[in-house]
Structure formats: structure tokens, C-alpha cells
Amino acid sequence: MPTDSLIAQKDKVRRFWEAEPCGSRYLQRPDSASDGRGEEWSAKNFETHERIRYELEPYIQDFAKFESAKGRKVLEVGVGMGADYLQWLKAGAQATGVDISRESIERARLRCELAGYRDADLRLADAENLPFPDRNFDVVYSYGVMHHSPNTPQCIQEALRVLRPGGEARIMLYHHPSLTGLLLWFRYGVWRAKGLRQCVYDHLESPGTKTYTEREVLSLMQGFRKVEMRLVFSPGDLLLHEPSQRFQKPLYRWLWKVYPRWLVRQVAGPWKLFVLVTATKED
């Protein structure tokens, strides 16, 4: 049974993503004359979000393999605002999506409706306790989600449980060490005796965000075979993303402009934040 502290931690994570669904900083905010949602919920705004997402992270398409999903049962764990989930539908998959954030589910559902998919199977659910029977899906996809959950190993085992034998998990987790962690350490840890991991845990997105070495990822993937990993730079490693509200001061804006991305790409290969994990469930 989960302890009170883990329940409280999960509620903090949920409330964080309720307040700022992933990628929402790229949505145009409604003006004061709108109904409170207005432009933020328009088809054009969702299209802008999709374009920016895949420009910043072009490896998503190759990793997810949307085009191979036609007729297959796909579960996306942590749909956010539904950019990837919509790609599964467009590819002809029998796609189900879950998220712990009701706000995210609402936005993902509207996104699908605006695109002509009015029967999207989107559900409010917890990655640590998926509401599905064993051996139910051909693919479980989760991009940048499970490291936010208090019990990441349980999330992985739930993905394993609901996969059919021979089914494939495609999971992105945060890697240690990373340039993102180093940047956060310079900001929050260098004068406070905090390590890279603690800085990520305390300050990267929702509270309690975890990172893993490649060896630790292999340990998490117990019960899978053919585990393959690929490290890629995140937009945060290269400061390509739009700064969040906590980084709006002139100093941070200046840093975003002068950051030597060309040099970082050349010399910081092992210090990438994203580890893309593909693994097959044993028969």
C-alpha cells in the first residue's frame, strides 16, 4: 500500500500538471474579452504546439514509430495535451490514452475533437495503477512521464503487465548526468551543497523528478528483452525551449541568446537528458 508521503507527493505532481499541462507555455493566452479559454483552446493553437514540439524534438517521430501502429492496440501513458496521441489516431491505431491530470485530458480530448476524432479513448488514470487487464496492448508508449511519478519502477512494471507477450514498450526517461542537471546545479546547487540529481529532483518541472544512468535504466526494465537505449539532447540541454515563468528575468533571457549550442553539440555527447528506451516483453 502506498504511504501517506507517497500519496502526498503524487498529489503535488498532479497539481503541478493541472496548473501547467506539458507544452502549454506555447499556447497563446486568451485575452480578457475571451471566455477564459478562447484562443488557448483553438485548433490553430494546437497546431502551433504540435509544430513547435516536433521541431524541438525531431527524434520523437522515429522513436514512436507512429506509422507502424495501424490496427494495433496502443496505450499512451501520460498524454499531456495530446500531440502524440493524435498521431496514433491518425496512423490508424486503436489508441487509448491516460493522464493523471484532468486538465490535460480535457485539452487532449478537445484537440482530438477539433481534428475530427470525436470518440478518443482518453481516461483519467494513474501510471502506477493502470485500469486495464493483463496482456491487453501491443504497444505501451510513455514520453517523459514515468520519472515524475513517485514510484517509477511500479510504472514500468504496470507497462509490462498490460503488454501482450512480444509487445513493445517505448519509454523516454530522464538521464543522469545531463547538461540540464548541470545548468540547474549552477543555478540552485553550487552554493547550497546540492548535487545534480537533487537539483533536478527539486527544480525540474514537477516536484520529485528523477534521473537514471543507463545501468539503472536496465535494472528498471526487468522482465523485458531486447532493451535498447539511445541518448538525445533535450531542448533544455541546448536552451532551445521557451523559458518557463521561473526564468523570465533579463539575465536568463540573455543566457538563452548567448548559449553556445554549436559547441555543446560537439563536446557534451554523454550529457544528454533524454534516454529513449525500446524494449520487448518476453514471450
Is 59 within a domain? yes
* Alpha carbons 84 and 102: distance in angstroms, whole number: 17
Each residue of 121-154: pLDDT tens digit? 999 999 999 999 999 999 999 999 999 999 999 9
Query: In Å, what is the CA distance from 69 to each residue of 102, 209, 227, 257, 279?
Result: 26, 30, 20, 39, 16
Q: For residue 211, what is its C-alpha cell?
A: 534521473
DSSP 8-state assignment for residue 187: I
Burial of 280 (0-12, 13-18, 19+ CB in 10 A): middle
Q: Which amino acid is residue 171, in one-letter code?
A: I
Is 28 within a domain? no
Over 70: is that where the pLDDT of 100 sits?
yes
**Which residues span the domain enclosing 137?**
4-20+36-281
Each residue of 160-219: pLDDT tens digit? 999 999 999 999 999 999 999 999 999 999 988 899 999 999 999 999 999 999 999 999
Is 25 within a domain? no
Please tell me the pTM assigned to this model: 0.93
Is 30 within a domain? no
10 Å Cβ neighbour count for 5?
9
Beta strands 94-99 and 121-124, pairing class: parallel
DSSP 8-state assignment for residue 30: P
Question: Tell me, what CATH number does 266's domain have?
Answer: 3.40.50.150
Is 232 within a domain? yes
Is 90 within a domain? yes
Is 31 within a domain? no
Over 80: is that where the pLDDT of 95 sits?
yes
Q: How many domains does the chain have?
A: 1
Q: For residue 89, what is its C-alpha cell?
A: 489516431
* Alpha carbons 117 and 17: distance in angstroms, whole number: 24
Q: Are 283 and 167 in contact (CB under 8 A)?
A: no
* Alpha carbons 15 and 17: distance in angstroms, whole number: 6
Higher pLDDT, 112 or 252: 112
Higher pLDDT, 280 or 282: 280
Is 262 within a domain? yes
